[in-house]
């Protein structure tokens, strides 16, 4: 298991995160008798194995390094990647806004590199279930390796399936459906069939075109509440004496998130009372149209 999941002395086989006085970081897997090379000299793994985290060790050239187990958000941003990861700021939003709770029955389609999978497993706990579906086998193997670093090799309630979720899904009743894929709107019929009343569908999409198509498809189906869409921006602050200001760089747009809740069978959601903005459903718009937004023929 990786950091945050284990206490006590550091042992061979687990990951540690080294930080120097300038804030430069290195992640390494502990191996008895091994050395790690830096520009400031060699670091002996044996100087860490058997010691608690939070120690300071010195390299062969006298450079100091702090040693800690990586926190989950630190591990996922540096984990080996096959596909792109869902960054911590978005994973936190999914866990919170999709209300992932202990014991939940969750399905994710598009496991990426295992970043969100790791957060979901922590959130559902040992009583929950998580079915992860990934189309590409090489990506799925990378997911398995990365998750094992976080949760170990025996994870109760987790299954990882190579295949299209629309064809390979085995779960019959699910509480949460998380979609990290190019065309999440194609899974709306699946959500209609498998999500329990009150269940949540959540899509993670990169572009405004995907966002629009998914939202309008949800509305057209009518069996879900009005979709809620947002993005999360993250900005750190520089803190030094009286020089307290925002950092010059920030984590800006990564993706949009959309959630909606499943209505009871046979129930239609209340249409949002709104007047479409001028041009919102013009001749270039290719999706479903709300009543009263038909394109006018030119005379």
Give the pLDDT band of residue 299 (cuts 50, 70, 90). Answer: very low
Q: Domain of 92: which CATH number?
A: 3.40.50.150
151 shares a domain with 65: no
pLDDT score recorded for residue 3: 42
Give me the helices (H) in 9-136, please. 72-76, 88-97, 115-124
In-domain check, residue 274: no
How is residue 297 annotated by DSSP?
A: P
229 shares a domain with 132: yes
Residue 1 has pLDDT above 50, yes or no: no
40 shares a domain with 167: no
Concatenate the DSSP letters of all residues of 159-201 into one string. Answer: EEEES-HHHH---SSEEEEEE-SS-GGGGHHHHHHHEEEEEEE
Give the pLDDT band of residue 294 (cuts 50, 70, 90). Answer: low
163 shares a domain with 39: no
206 shares a domain with 225: yes
Q: Which of 111, 103, 123, 113 is nearest to 149 (CA)?
A: 113
- The residues near 243 (Cβ < 8 Å, ≥ 6 apart) are none
Residue 291 has pLDDT above 60, yes or no: no
* Strand 195-205 relative to strand 129-134, pairing: unpaired
In-domain check, residue 44: yes
Q: Which of 295, 197, 221, 206 is nearest to 252 (CA)?
A: 206
Give the separation between CA 119 and CA 100, rounded to whole angstroms: 10
Q: How confident is the model over 223-272, as pLDDT tens digits?
A: 999 999 999 999 999 999 999 999 988 878 899 999 999 999 999 888 77
204 shares a domain with 97: yes
Tokens of 142: 């990378």
Count of domains for the chain: 2
Give the separation between CA 29 and CA 8, rounded to whole angstroms: 17
**In the predicted model, what is the mean pLDDT of residues 135-148?**
91
**In the predicted model, what is the mean pLDDT of residues 100-122?**
95
Measure the CA dihedral 292/229/125/69, to 10°: 170
Give the separation between CA 109 and CA 116, rounded to whole angstroms: 11
E-only strand ranges, the chain: 15-19, 25-29, 35-38, 41-44, 55-58, 64-68, 105-109, 129-134, 158-162, 174-179, 195-205, 228-230, 237-240, 243-246, 256-261
Q: How confident is the model over 155-173, as pLDDT tens digits?
A: 889 999 999 999 999 999 9
Average pLDDT, the chain: 90
Residue 4 has pLDDT above 60, yes or no: no
> Locate tokens 């598009």: which residue?
110
pLDDT above 70 as % of the chain: 92
Q: Domain of 47: which CATH number?
A: 3.10.330.20
Q: How confident is the model over 48-84, as pLDDT tens digits?
A: 999 999 999 999 999 999 999 999 998 888 787 777 8
In-domain check, residue 283: no
83 shares a domain with 58: no
44 shares a domain with 126: no
> Locate tokens 């279930």: which residue?
129
Range of the domain at 65: 15-70
């Amino acid at each position: 298991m990786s950091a945050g999941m284990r206490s006590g002395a550091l042992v061979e086989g687990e990951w540690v995160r080294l930080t120097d006085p300038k804030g430069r970081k290195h992640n390494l897997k502990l191996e008895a008798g091994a050395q790690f090379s830096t520009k400031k000299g060699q670091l002996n793994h044996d100087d860490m194995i058997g010691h608690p985290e939070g120690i300071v060790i010195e390299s062969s050239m006298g450079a100091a390094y702090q040693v800690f187990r990586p926190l989950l958000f630190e591990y996922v941003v540096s984990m080996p990647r096959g596909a792109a990861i869902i960054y911590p700021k978005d994973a936190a939003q999914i866990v919170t806004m999709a209300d992932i709770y202990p014991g939940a029955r969750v399905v994710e389609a598009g496991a990426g590199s295992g970043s969100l999978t790791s957060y979901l497993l922590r959130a559902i706990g040992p009583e929950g279930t998580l079915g992860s579906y990934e189309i590409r086998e090489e990506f799925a193997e990378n997911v398995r390796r990365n998750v094992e670093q976080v949760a170990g090799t025996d994870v109760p309630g987790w299954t990882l399936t190579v295949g299209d979720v629309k064809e390979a899904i085995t779960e019959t009743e699910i509480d949460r459906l998380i979609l990290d894929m190019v065309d999440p709107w194609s899974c709306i019929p699946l959500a209609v069939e498998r999500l329990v009343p009150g269940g949540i569908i959540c899509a993670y999409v990169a572009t405004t075109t995907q966002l629009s198509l998914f939202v309008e498809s949800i509305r057209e189906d009518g069996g879900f509440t009005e979709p809620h869409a947002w993005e999360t921006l993250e900005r750190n602050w520089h803190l030094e004496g009286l020089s307290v200001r925002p950092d010059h760089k920030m984590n800006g747009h990564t993706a949009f998130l959309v959630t909606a809740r499943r209505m009871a069978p046979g129930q239609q959601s209340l249409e949002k009372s709104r007047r479409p903005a001028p041009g919102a459903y013009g001749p270039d718009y290719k999706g479903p149209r709300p009543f009263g937004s038909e394109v006018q023929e030119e005379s």
